[in-house]
Amino acid sequence: MITDIITIIQDYWLLLLIGQYPNGPLGGLVNTLILSALSISLAFPISILFALARLSKWRLLRWPVTALVYVTRGVPLLMLVLWSYFLVPLLTGADVPSFLTMLTTLVIYQGAFLSEVVRGGILTLGHGQMEAAKALGHSYLGAMRFIILPQALYNMIPSIISTFVSTIKDTTIGYVINVPDLTFAASQVNNQLLTQPFQVFLILALVYYVICWSLTQVANVIERRITRRRAGVARAAAATLAPSKILSEQP
């Protein structure tokens, strides 16, 4: 079993890594990572806009975005992928590569999910920050730009990394519209070998596991660091207010 797996990796590592490239489109693991990275970096600004719209006092801004977020969260990603597969070529009138279709879907889908993360981050900051910023002469947008968002986004870094992990996992759904990613490459390998499907799909699962697990660990480390920094800030603030109380708490 293990020798089978090693042989498959020795024979097909390049296909799994970059797909048919340079004799065909770029694919494999590299394409999966490019697709995920592009999706998350495009979804990120959109999610901030969505979050601000959902927190806006104007109904015309709030309601459509809220509806969009609810629909995106209530419908399977696979269904949205099929929608894009059908609609994007219709709207652009061109033959769109499946990579772009998947990218469009992921940007909207992850944008909606991330917007909830960003919204949560803004809401947990409390009203005081916005009021203080306004008292200092900031406008609403200025306060958002310089006071609220930097704090909210900093606190949200672990959640953003988790969203990145789920984006990597979600790219696999591109399989149904033949996006040439890692899953697609693995099924190509499987079609060539025919006799060892378990070994091939086990390799596939392990590769995803290693990548997603490592990123999750990074998120955990950053989360601990943020918690510690926050605790440090709180302790320092408390120390200036009531030094005796803090001293008595130390072991």
Contact residues: other proteins, CB under 8 A: 70-71, 73-79, 82-83, 86, 165, 168-170, 172-173, 175-176, 183, 187, 190, 197-202, 204-205, 208-209, 212-213, 216
When the beta carbons of 114 and 165 are compared against other proteins, the nearer one is 165
Query: Least distance from C-beta 210 to other proteins, angstroms?
Result: 8
Spatial separation of the C-alpha atoms in residues 126 and 85, rounded to whole Å:
41
When the beta carbons of 155 and 190 are compared against other proteins, the nearer one is 190
Token reading at 209: 């596991």
Q: Which residues of 202-218 are buried (b: 16+ CB within 10 A; e: fewer)?
A: bbbeebbeebbeebeee
Query: Least distance from C-beta 197 to other proteins, angstroms?
Result: 5
Token reading at 53: 């719209």
DSSP annotation string for 136-202? TT--HHHHIIIIIHHHHHHHTHHHHHHHHHHHHHHGGGGGGGT--SHHHHHHHHHHHH-S-HHHHHH
When the beta carbons of 56 and 187 are compared against other proteins, the nearer one is 187
> Is residue 47 a contact partner of residue 115, using CB atoms and an 8 Å limit?
yes
Spatial separation of the C-alpha atoms in residues 39 and 164, rounded to whole Å:
9
When the beta carbons of 144 and 211 are compared against other proteins, the nearer one is 211
> Is residue 109 a contact partner of residue 76, using CB atoms and an 8 Å limit?
no
When the beta carbons of 139 and 191 are compared against other proteins, the nearer one is 191
When the beta carbons of 140 and 201 are compared against other proteins, the nearer one is 201
Query: Least distance from C-beta 87 to other proteins, angstroms?
Result: 8
Query: Least distance from C-beta 82 to other proteins, angstroms?
Result: 6
Query: Least distance from C-beta 212 to other proteins, angstroms?
Result: 4
When the beta carbons of 66 and 187 are compared against other proteins, the nearer one is 187
Q: What is the maximal distance between C-alpha atoms in the chain? A: 73
Query: Least distance from C-beta 185 to other proteins, angstroms?
Result: 12
Query: Least distance from C-beta 29 to other proteins, angstroms?
Result: 13
Spatial separation of the C-alpha atoms in residues 174 and 154, rounded to whole Å:
31
